[in-house]
Amino acid sequence: MRQLVIGDKNLSSWSLRPWLALTVAGIDFAEVNVRLGRPETKAAILRHSPSGKVPCLIDGRTLVWDSLAICEYAAELAPALWPADAAARAEARAVSAEMHSGFTALRQNMPMEVCASRPGEGRTPEVEADVARILAIWEACRARHGAGGPFLFGAFSIADAMYAPVVWRFTTYAVAVPPVVRAWMDAMLALPAMQAWRAGAAAELVARPA
């Protein structure tokens, strides 16, 4: 059985991305949960992941130790995780890569905390610029490619998975969004997998308070 090594569901935004892609695609895996931010964390992660970071997918002798690489691996098992149209697929890859490599100010100042409510916190000018760019990406995806369904490229894709932690961030920090973005965020929040992740985060907080 494939194993996905992940961090705390309340906090680990990189873990959520491939977890969601695998779950929505119906690809079987078992979770291996590592608690972040503890003296023993690094050693615990290194038992599974050569980078010392989560997420890491273990599929027999194959190790995949990066969120976007795991999503790509998932798409080899479930090709519908990328749009079928080549031009749309290229754009989905571009917006996914932009999330993977960017938005540092947002990541630093508005960390994912699925179960928290912190309206208005963290809004530096650099964060405002990241928020504006992310809203522009989501609006463009919905306008250009969204006709076939409620997600960024119509059907659920890796692009949605890559921005899923930002859905939780915008919820936690109560970021105002235009109606077209609200509709996409609502579709994301309605996914049983997103609700299951949130329930898991809440259960972990009860079982092992900070």
Ligand X SMILES: N[C@@H](CCC(=O)N[C@@H](CS)C(=O)NCC(=O)O)C(=O)O
Question: Interface residues with ligand X (CB under 6 A)?
Answer: 7, 12-15, 36, 41-42, 53-55, 66-68
Strand partners for 163: none
User: Three-state DSSP class for 9?
Assistant: coil
Token duo for residue 133: 């760019």
Structure tokens at 179: 């109606």
**Residues in CB range of 87: below 8 A, 6 or more apart:** none
Which two three-digit tokens encode residue 29?
């895996």
Q: Which residue's CB is nearer to ligand X, number 111 or number 150?
A: 111
Q: Give me the least distance between CB of 42 and ligand X, in Å please.
A: 5
Closest distance to ligand X from the beta carbon of 141 (Å): 21
Cβ pair 187, 166 in contact under 8 A: no
Nearer to ligand X, 63 or 180 (CB): 63
Distance CA 183, CA 186 (A): 5
CB-nearer residue toward ligand X: 22 or 181: 22
**Least CB distance to ligand X at residue 18 (A):** 8
Please, what is the minimum distance in Å from the beta carbon of residue 123 to ligand X?
22
State the minimum distance, in angstroms, from the CB of residue 186 to ligand X.
25
Nearer to ligand X, 24 or 99 (CB): 99
For residue 68, CA distances in Å to 14, 72, 175 come to 9, 6, 25
Q: With respect to ligand X, which residue has the nearer C-beta, 13 or 23?
A: 13
Strands (E) in the chain, as ranges, are 3-6, 30-33, 56-59, 62-64
